[in-house]
Structure 1
Amino acid sequence: MSPLDMLKKINAMAEFNRWCGIEVTVAEPGFVEIQMPWRPEVGQYSGFLHAGLIGTLIDTACGFAAGTVAGPNLLAANFSVNCLRPAVGQKFIARARVVKPGKAQVFTSCDLFAVDADGEKLVANGQTLLTVVQAG
């Protein structure tokens, strides 16, 4: 199964991801791109994407990127998010990459872009440390 097919299957099983409207658009070993459309339910009081959803997109993209090299049995051990500007757009694109793979932990990084008629703007970035969970 290709990395893209694997992640689309995993994404489809995650009810929260479906509620958010997250779609996996690119998946290669060590790299993932996901997208989510804007809708009022994901905004905060000023009409910007809620910081919780910013964290969701970064965490999800990083986890998926790690999954392309370590398999699907991962848990976030730590993640950090830097909100760089108000996240306003018609859709949001998170691009994550594996910084350092390992047998027990995978380090990842992600940039989040808001997309509107003027193109993409970087609105946040973050890093995630994921722990490989042994089956059984």
Structure 2
Amino acid sequence: MSGLDLGMAQKVLDSQPFSSLVGARITAFGDGAATLEIDSRAELHQQNGFLHGGVLAYAADNALTFAAGTTLGPAVLTGGFSIQYLRSATGTALVARAEVVHSGRRQAVARCDLFAVGEDGAETLCAVAQGTVLNANPS
């Protein structure tokens, strides 16, 4: 994804059927970082009314991968990631902000902070993630 701009990154995201299903959008992309946002809606909640943990994991996975793609190029795959849930995600939206911690030729390590956005626009940290992203076409 290196050399791509925000509009092209959104087109890549839109080409993923699951991303379209959850309504994900990229609001920042470049220089080793990416931000992914998802509006909260009932279909994405679990039985207690919170955003489902799987939605948070999806957001972390994609934000980590897009951030790493700014340093590794467009052919990237998630090698693995871990997520720690800190509190329930409630509110109007979820924001996943990822940044590359280290990038080499074959892989990058990135971290992601996930925030629940309240009715007043205030952000509350609800999860943190870290992962490894692999260059699918190392030269």
Q: Matches of residues 1-136 of structure 1 in structure 2 within 5 Å?
A: 2-118=4-120, 119-134=122-137
1:52 alignment partner AA: G
**Contact 1:3/1:29 (CA < 8 Å) preserved in 2?**
no
SS at match of 1:48: coil
Q: 1:37-82 CA deviation, whole Å, 9 max, x = no partner?
A: 0011111111111111110000010000011111121111110000
Structure 2 unmatched runs, 5+: none
Residue 3 of structure 1: how far off its partner (Å)? 2.8
**Contact 2:72/2:106 (CA < 8 Å) preserved in 1?**
no
1:132 alignment partner AA: N
Q: Percent identical across equivalent pairs?
A: 36
TM-score (norm 1): 0.94
Distance 1:48 1:72 in 2: 33
SS at match of 1:49: coil
CA RMSD for the aligned pairs? 1.2
SS at match of 1:88: coil
Give the length in aligned residue pairs: 135
TM-score (norm 2): 0.92
